[in-house]
């Protein structure tokens, strides 16, 4: 009885189709990731691009700019430990003025 029901046919069809559908989906994601690797797509996942998320990396220049903006504005009291990155402080060495 179970094999002739709609649920049984659906289950057998799903089990037959799923490996091919999953392989196609994974290959599509692989192609998208390779395109991202060569700067052909704006994000590493397609749905991030669809919803308009822009992924950026922070560099040393960004951290210096962040520190400069907070020093110039001075409107917000910022603890110096929040600005020191990396935690061991290798980038926050200031030259001696004078």
**Residue 2 — pLDDT band, cuts 50, 70, 90?**
low
pLDDT per residue over 10-49, tens digit each? 999 999 999 999 999 999 999 999 999 998 988 889 998 8
With vertex at residue 89, the alpha carbon angle to CA 85 and CA 95, rounded to the nearest 5 degrees, is 110
pLDDT at residue number 58: 77
pLDDT at 56: 73
- pLDDT tens, 43-85? 889 998 889 887 777 788 888 888 887 777 765 555 555 555 5
Sorted by where each begins, the domain ranges of the chain are: 2-50, 57-98
What is the C-alpha separation between 57 and 37, in angstroms, rounded?
14
């Amino acid at each position: 009885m179970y094999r002739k029901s709609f649920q049984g046919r659906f289950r057998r069809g799903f089990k037959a189709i799923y490996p091919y559908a999953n392989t196609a989906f994974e290959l599509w994601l692989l192609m998208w990731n390779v395109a991202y690797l060569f700067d052909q797509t704006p994000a590493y996942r397609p749905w991030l691009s669809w919803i308009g998320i822009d992924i950026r990396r922070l560099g040393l220049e960004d951290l210096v700019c962040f520190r400069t903006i907070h020093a110039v504005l001075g409107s917000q009291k910022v603890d110096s430990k929040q600005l020191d990155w990396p935690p061991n402080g290798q980038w926050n060495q200031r030259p001696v003025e004078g």
